[in-house]
C-alpha cells in the first residue's frame, strides 16, 4: 500500500529513497517516495509517500521510471508471429496419461515411445498418413503444440516408421497388459472381424476377399478385434484379406488361454464367426470355454419344421427358451422382434414385386410377335441375370421352353419364410444358473459395441483406411496404433 503524505507544494525532482534506522538491535528499512527541491539556497527533501509495503518489483519499476526510463504497453512490445492450437492437445495427452498409456507402451521413456504417443494422439486429433503426420509435427509446418508438449524435436517420416516397427515388436506385451487390466476369470469376450481395402504394394497380407467396405475391386486386409464386455478393446490381429471369419476365431482361443492366461471365458460372436464346426472342433468339451452365438436362418427353419419353434411361444413375451437334441448341452433362446418382423415383411414384399415385374417383362419378351426371345438357353440366361439381382428366386416357380416362359409365386415357400419374420435364436453353453436367458440375449447384442468400434476406426474419427504401407509388419502396426487410439 502507498501511504500518501500530502500534495507537493514546490517543483523539484522526485526519486525513491531508502532510509535505515537501528533501534534496540533491530534494523528498520523504509522506502520513501521523495521530492528534492531548493528553498532559499538550501536543499530540502519532502516525503510524498511510503512505498515500503509495495512489492520489490513494483518499487524497482517506479525507481526506473523516475530515473527517466520509458515504458510502453505490452501489446506494443510484442508481435504474435505464430499461434498453435493447444487445448485439444492437452485434453488428449491428459487422457492418455490418466489411462497410463505411456506405461502400457513401455515402463521407461524412450524416443520411440514418445513418437508412438505422438502418432496415437495425431490419429485422434488429425488422422493422416505417416508422411502428413510427420509434417504436422515438424517445427516449420506443425499444426498444433503436440510435438512441443512431447519434446520431440525435429520429426522425420523415417523416424515414425522406426517407431512403428518398435511398436509392433511390443504388441504382444502391450496386449498382455491390457488383458490383465480389463479381463477377469469368467469374463465375456466380444469378438468380430472387419476389413479395409488396401492401396500399398508387396504385402503378403493383401488378398481379394469378401469386402465389408463395398469395394470388391480392391484387395484388402482383414482384422479381428477382441473386446471385453464393455466394448473396451484388448487385442487386434491382422489376417490375409481372403481369411474366413471362423478361421480368425480359432486364433483368438489360443491367444486368450495361453497369452492372456484367462482360464474361464465366454466367447461372444455372430453366427458367421462361431459356427457349429468351430464349436465342435475348438470349444465343446474344453474345460472353462463357453460360447454365445446365434443360429443361421436354415437352422432356425429346421427347428420350426420340427415343431421346436412355434408362434405360441410368444403369447406373453418376446423371448422363450427351448432345447433340441441337435444342440446337446446348449440352451436355445428364441427371440421375437416385432419391428424387425415388419421390416422383413415389407422388404420381402418389395423384392417379390420387383422380381415379378422382371418376370413379366421376360414373359412378354418371349411372347411378343416380332423379334421374340427364343431358345431355352437365351431365356434362362436372361432369367438368371434378373433373379440374381433380387435374391428371392426360391419364392417362384417357372417353366422354360424354346418359345415359352411361364412363372408363378410359390406360396408355400413364402408362408414358411414369413412365419419366421422377426425371429432369431441365440445359442449358448452357459448354464442358466450363471446367466439368465435375458442376460444371454443382452450379451449377444453387445456385439454392437465391437461394430461401433469398427465404425469409429473406419470413419472420420480415426481413418484406419486407406492403408499405404508395403510391409506386413507396418500394416499390423498401423492397425494396432488405430486400436490404441480407439482405446483412448
- Measured in whole angstroms, the distance separating CA 103 from the mean position of its chain's CA atoms is 21
pLDDT confidence of residue 199:
73
* pLDDT tens, position by position, 327-369: 999 999 999 888 988 999 999 999 999 999 999 999 999 999 9
Give the integer Cα–Cα distance in Å for 359 and 407: 7
> Taken in order 153, 147, 112, 129, is the CA torsion positive or negative?
negative
What the block records as the C-alpha cell of 429 is 453353453
Q: Identify the DSSP state of 284.
A: T
Give the integer Cα–Cα distance in Å for 484 and 488: 6
pLDDT confidence of residue 358:
94
- The phi, psi pair for 290, rounded to 5°, reads -130, 170
Is residue 352 within 8 A of residue 387, CB to CB? The reply is no
Nearest partner of 103 among 120, 123, 89, 117, judged by Cα: 117
Give the integer Cα–Cα distance in Å for 426 and 444: 8
- The phi, psi pair for 425, rounded to 5°, reads -125, 125
Specify the pTM.
Answer: 0.78
Give the integer Cα–Cα distance in Å for 79 and 319: 70
pLDDT confidence of residue 11:
65
Is residue 220 within 8 A of residue 198, CB to CB? The reply is yes
Q: For the chain, 488 residues long, give each residue's pLDDT as a single digit of tens.
A: 455 455 445 567 888 988 888 888 888 889 999 998 888 888 888 888 899 899 999 999 899 988 888 887 777 777 777 889 999 999 999 999 999 999 999 999 999 999 999 999 999 999 999 999 999 999 999 999 999 999 998 999 999 999 999 999 999 999 999 999 999 999 999 999 999 888 766 678 888 888 887 788 888 999 999 999 999 999 999 999 999 999 999 999 999 999 999 999 999 999 999 999 999 999 999 999 999 999 998 999 999 888 898 877 776 678 999 999 999 999 999 998 889 889 999 999 999 999 999 999 999 999 999 999 999 999 999 999 988 889 899 999 999 999 999 999 999 999 989 988 989 999 999 999 999 999 999 999 999 999 999 999 988 788 998 787 888 999 999 999 999 999 99
Give the integer Cα–Cα distance in Å for 322 and 341: 21
Nearest partner of 157 among 139, 140, 141, 133, judged by Cα: 133
* pLDDT tens, position by position, 433-454: 999 999 999 999 999 999 999 9
Distances (CA, A) of 23 to 26, 27, 28, 29, 240: 5, 7, 8, 11, 91
Give the integer Cα–Cα distance in Å for 240 and 248: 10
- Coil, strand, or helix at residue 390? helix
Nearest partner of 221 among 480, 475, 400, 478, judged by Cα: 475
Q: Around 439, how many Cα atoms within 13 Å sit in the side-chain half-sphere?
A: 10
Kindly report the number of other CB atoms within 10 A of residue 305's CB atom.
10
> Taken in order 445, 196, 488, 258, is the CA torsion positive or negative?
positive
Nearest partner of 446 among 236, 268, 285, judged by Cα: 268
Q: Identify the DSSP state of 380.
A: H
pLDDT confidence of residue 2:
52
Give the integer Cα–Cα distance in Å for 107 and 95: 18
- Name the CATH architecture for the domain at 172-337+422-487: Alpha-Beta Complex (3.90)
Is residue 207 within 8 A of residue 241, CB to CB? The reply is yes
pLDDT confidence of residue 313:
78
Pairing of strands 42-50, 3-4: antiparallel
Is residue 195 within 8 A of residue 222, CB to CB? The reply is yes
Nearest partner of 420 among 270, 317, 314, judged by Cα: 314
Domain edges within the chain? 3-69, 87-169, 172-337+422-487, 340-418
pLDDT confidence of residue 1:
47
Nearest partner of 253 among 223, 271, 221, 279, judged by Cα: 279
Amino acid at each position: 500500500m502507498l501511504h500518501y503524505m500530502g500534495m507537493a507544494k514546490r517543483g523539484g525532482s522526485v526519486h525513491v529513497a531508502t532510509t535505515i534506522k537501528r533501534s534496540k538491535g533491530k534494523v528498520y528499512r523504509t522506502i520513501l517516495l521523495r521530492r528534492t527541491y531548493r528553498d532559499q539556497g538550501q536543499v530540502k527533501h519532502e516525503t510524498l509517500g511510503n512505498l515500503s509495503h509495495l512489492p520489490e518489483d513494483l518499487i524497482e519499476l517506479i525507481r526506473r521510471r523516475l530515473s527517466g526510463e520509458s515504458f510502453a504497453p505490452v501489446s506494443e512490445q510484442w508481435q504474435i508471429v505464430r499461434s498453435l492450437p493447444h487445448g485439444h492437445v492437452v485434453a488428449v495427452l491428459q487422457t492418455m496419461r490418466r489411462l497410463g498409456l505411456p506405461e502400457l507402451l513401455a515402463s521407461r521413456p524412450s524416443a520411440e515411445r514418445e513418437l508412438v504417443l505422438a502418432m496415437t494422439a495425431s490419429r485422434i486429433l488429425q488422422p493422416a498418413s505417416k508422411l502428413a503426420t510427420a509434417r504436422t509435427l515438424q517445427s516449420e509446418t506443425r499444426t498444433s503444440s503436440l510435438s512441443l508438449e512431447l519434446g520431440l524435436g525435429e520429426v522425420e517420416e523415417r523416424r515414425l516408421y522406426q517407431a512403428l516397427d518398435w511398436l509392433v515388436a511390443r504388441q504382444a506385451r502391450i496386449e498382455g497388459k491390457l488383458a490383465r487390466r480389463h479381463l477377469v476369470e469368467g469374463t465375456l469376450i466380444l469378438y468380430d472381424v472387419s476389413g479395409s481395402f488396401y492401396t500399398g504394394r508387396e504385402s503378403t497380407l493383401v488378398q481379394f476377399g469378401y469386402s465389408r467396405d463395398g469395394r470388391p475391386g480392391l484387395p484388402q486386409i482383414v482384422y479381428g478385434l477382441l473386446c471385453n464386455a464393455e466394448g473396451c478393446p484388448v487385442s487386434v490381429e491382422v489376417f490375409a484379406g481372403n481369411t474366413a471369419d471362423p478361421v480368425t476365431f480359432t486364433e483368438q482361443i489360443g491367444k486368450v488361454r495361453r497369452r492372456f492366461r484367462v482360464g474361464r471365458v465366454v466367447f461372444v460372436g455372430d453366427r458367421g464367426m462361431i459356427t457349429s464346426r468351430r464349436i465342435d472342433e475348438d470349444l465343446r468339451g474344453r474345460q472353462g470355454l463357453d460360447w454365445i452365438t446365434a443360429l443361421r436362418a436354415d437352422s432356425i427353419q429346421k427347428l420350426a419344421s420340427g415343431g421346436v419353434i412355434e408362434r405360441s411361444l410368444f403369447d406373453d413375451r418376446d423371448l422363450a427358451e427351448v432345447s433340441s437334441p441337435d444342440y446337446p448341452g446348449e440352451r436355445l433362446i428364441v427371440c421375437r422382434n416385432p419391428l424387425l418382423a415388419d421390416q422383413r415383411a415389407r422388404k420381402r414384399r418389395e423384392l417379390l414385386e420387383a422380381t415379378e415385374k422382371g418376370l413379366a417383362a421376360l414373359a412378354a419378351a418371349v411372347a411378343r410377335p416380332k423379334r421374340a426371345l427364343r431358345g431355352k438357353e437365351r431365356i434362362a440366361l436372361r432369367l438368371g441375370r434378373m433373379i440374381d439381382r433380387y435374391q428371392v428366386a426360391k419364392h417362384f416357380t417357372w417353366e422354360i421352353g424354346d418359345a415359352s416362359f411361364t412363372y408363378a409365386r410359390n406360396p408355400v415357400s413364402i408362408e414358411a419364410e414369413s412365419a419366421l419374420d422377426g425371429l432369431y435364436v441365440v445359442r449358448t453353453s452357459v448354464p442358466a444358473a450363471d446367466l439368465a436367458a435375458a442376460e444371454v440375449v443382452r450379451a449377444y447384442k453387445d456385439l454392437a459395441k465391437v461394430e461401433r468400434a469398427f465404425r469409429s476406426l473406419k470413419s472420420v474419427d480415426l481413418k484406419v483406411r486407406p492403408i499405404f504401407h508395403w510391409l506386413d509388419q507396418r500394416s499390423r502396426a498401423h492397425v494396432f496404433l488405430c486400436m490404441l487410439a480407439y482405446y483412448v
